Structure 1
Amino acid sequence: MFFHAYSILWMGGVIVSGKYTITEWQSTIYEQYIAFRKRASSCAPSTERTIRAAIFSFFSYMNANGIDALSDVRAEHLHDWHISSEHSSSRARNLYTSQLRIFFEYLSEKGLVPISLPLALSCQHAPNETVVKVLSRGQIETIETYARHAKSPMQLRDSAMLMLGLKMGMRGADIYGLKFSDISWRKQAISFIQQKTGVYIELPMPVVVGNSIYRYITEGRPASTADTVFVNHVSPDNSLRGSTSVRNAIQRIFRDDAERDFTGFHITRRTFASQMLCSGSTVPLIAAALGHARAESVAPYLSTDDENLRRCAIGCCGIEYAGRYGL
């Protein structure tokens, strides 16, 4: 029996959407594996989506090429699937490939495929360095001004969300899932388990953030039984289910900004890290504030500290080059 995932379907407890065609036994294998991943370690929704897409992509490849069982999969099949990937960038292609490799390692431990088969999938990709984009001083002032003058319920919600991202570096997923029990007004702190990493973190809550949250709760939040701070403003009033709300919060403010070169909410977190670095905070302190396990993850933000980078520049005094004719 085949399932065509061109529209949203309920498949044995998993909601699937996209363009993949899988069989009933493949759906069962996937359900068992994703349950294993969730038991073994934290698995953020974004990670689960990547895992699902990678596995369903390969299952669809199997079905399109007449491969009826996992025992029939060969190294050349994995290689062919990898090079025929629909992703244009090597980084995206290898992200999916690494997830499929972990899946096949799981299958090999279960005795469903040869133990050496996962080695056919490379988990390496060429280094990819990008310049970190942060909000300009003018854009930060725009957000702060918007927050000070917010009046409508939606404006108050947007302001509180943006302050959490800009002044505390919280991820969008942790913001829309923030609970009343996560906030300690007495300690002026917010503590929660990060949705992406599953790691507990406690952050000091700046006064401007506390004020924004308080204003939203007392002046803008509709009556709701939800235990989350931020809720929908249309019926039914309940907890927000996705990151669209936080992404829309920043897009509403900069809708008419012709110089805007970003679309996602995550730029507030990058700006927070950059501001800490420019103010002289140590790398371990920044990593702790971001909830990162490794200090190396802060390295990309070094490129945003223009003032201190200028101090590293080497002058040309003493190494002047004199060419022919005195040039």
Structure 2
Amino acid sequence: MGSTLGHKHFSNELGDSFLDDCFGIQPGMKLLNSQVFKVRTIHVLADMLENNCFLKCHQKPGKQASPQFKDILENYGKLQLAKKISKRTLQGKKIILVRFLNFLNKQGITGIEALTSDEVLSYLDTLKEYSSNTRSGIMYTVRDFLLFLHLEKHIKTPLNNLFPVIFTNKYERLPSYYLSEEIHKILCQIDRNTVIGRRDYLILLLAVQFGMRAGDIRQLKFKNIKLSRNTVELVQQKTKRFLQLPVTKELKYALADYLKNSRPNVDDPHIFIKSRSVHPKN
């Protein structure tokens, strides 16, 4: 451990020595879950050394489609974006299709033109353990992809016709909701005398009073708040629909309290700021 003591400046070599001396972690070794955060911390310091700023968290990239299917999946994605589908929805579709395509690869399909109904039905058979809603969501995506393959002449047979109707059991899982009294109790539990509490209270009000999605709340900007009209106006990320919502007195007071007493004094158009992303105004 002595090799990492007495240094005043960080270096990549020092970081590797620290991990080895203190935790027995060596470059290239397979990490336990308890070791991942320690290595990630050193990588963040290395980013700061090299780029003079903190980059995004070091996380493993998601699973990728087998090489023979990558171009087709990319073309499908471009077509979806042309249809104005949101990037987040497309990301979800790609996750489903990567699993489907990797299943085909394991079945020995070396080219999409060799796809037959046998492989599709075999894949659908693997979905039996999923809930009805999850299974139907996967099937909708796979069916749309199969239609794309046929229309683009990658396959001759319209395999999407294998399951023209997708059944879901709407009673399998009833939607959950909160009573007004329960919502009031939740809001009352927030300590609005703290920096985090004032922020969380405003976030919950936006969700409760407007039904705003988390992504829309996260991307909310000052330009979306029209105090002259007492409205919040935005285009939803998921649906691309324009919303104009009335600002209540309770929301207006919560917003003013957050901006005055909690929000970091930074030059950023977003209302909500990550604490680790704060760069004070000059």
TM beyond 0.5: yes
Distance 2:65 2:241 in 1: 34
Contact 1:143 1:162 (C-alpha < 8 Å) held by counterparts: no
Shift of 1:96: 0.7
Q: Provide closer, same or farther for how the CA distance between residues 232 and 207 of structure 1 changes in structure 2, counting only shifts above 3 A.
A: same
Q: Does residue 91 of the first structure (1) align with residue 136 of the second (2)?
A: no
Superposed counterparts of 1:274-285, under 5 Å = none
- Per the alignment, in what secondary structure is the counterpart of residue 90 of structure 2? helix
Q: Does residue 34 of the first structure (1) align with residue 77 of the second (2)?
A: yes
Q: Does residue 143 of the first structure (1) align with residue 186 of the second (2)?
A: yes
Shift of 1:236: 4.3
Letter in 1 for 2:74: E
Q: Which residue of 2 aligns with 1:127?
A: 169
Distance 2:131 2:186 in 1: 34
Q: Which residue of 2 aligns with 1:164?
A: 206
Superposition CA RMSD, Å = 2.2
What are the ranges of 5 or more consecutive residues in structure 2 without an aligned counterpart?
1-59
Letter in 1 for 2:62: S
- Per the alignment, in what secondary structure is the counterpart of residue 234 of structure 1? helix
Superposed counterparts of 1:173-322, under 5 Å = 173-236=215-278
Q: Which residue of 2 aligns with 1:17?
A: 62
Superposed counterparts of 1:97-108, under 5 Å = 97-108=139-150
Distance 2:165 2:92 in 1: 15
Q: Provide closer, same or farther for how the CA distance between residues 123 and 223 of structure 1 changes in structure 2, counting only shifts above 3 A.
A: farther
Residues 258-278 of structure 1 deviation map (CA, whole Å, 9 limit, x = unaligned): xxxxxxxxxxxxxxxxxxxxx
Moved more, 68-77 or 86-95: 86-95
Distance 1:83 1:167 in 2: 42
Contact 1:190 1:205 (C-alpha < 8 Å) held by counterparts: yes
Q: Which residue of 2 aligns with 1:43?
A: 86
Q: Which residue of 1 aligns with 2:5?
A: none
Contact 1:109 1:115 (C-alpha < 8 Å) held by counterparts: no
Letter in 1 for 2:91: R
Q: Does residue 77 of the first structure (1) align with residue 122 of the second (2)?
A: no
Distance 2:168 2:186 in 1: 37
Q: TM-score, normalised by structure 1?
A: 0.62
What are the ranges of 5 or more consecutive residues in structure 1 without an aligned counterpart?
1-14, 239-327
Contact 1:183 1:189 (C-alpha < 8 Å) held by counterparts: yes
Shift of 1:88: 2.0
Identity among equivalent pairs (%): 19
Distance 2:204 2:278 in 1: 24
Q: TM-score, normalised by structure 2?
A: 0.71
Contact 2:97 2:142 (C-alpha < 8 Å) held by counterparts: yes
Residues 290-321 of structure 1 deviation map (CA, whole Å, 9 limit, x = unaligned): xxxxxxxxxxxxxxxxxxxxxxxxxxxxxxxx
Letter in 2 for 1:34: G
Distance 1:16 1:38 in 2: 21
Q: Which residue of 2 aligns with 1:9?
A: none
Contact 2:69 2:101 (C-alpha < 8 Å) held by counterparts: yes
Residues 104-149 of structure 1 deviation map (CA, whole Å, 9 limit, x = unaligned): 21121211112522212445113313433222344322234346x5
- Per the alignment, in what secondary structure is the counterpart of residue 192 of structure 1? strand
Distance 2:138 2:181 in 1: 38
Distance 1:219 1:23 in 2: 51
Q: Which residue of 2 aligns with 1:65?
A: 107
Shift of 1:27: 2.1
Q: Provide closer, same or farther for how the CA distance between residues 140 and 108 of structure 1 changes in structure 2, counting only shifts above 3 A.
A: same
Letter in 1 for 2:116: R
Q: Provide closer, same or farther for how the CA distance between residues 223 and 26 of structure 1 changes in structure 2, counting only shifts above 3 A.
A: farther
Q: Provide closer, same or farther for how the CA distance between residues 173 and 62 of structure 1 changes in structure 2, counting only shifts above 3 A.
A: same
| Number of residue equivalences | 220
Contact 2:202 2:258 (C-alpha < 8 Å) held by counterparts: yes
Distance 1:28 1:211 in 2: 52
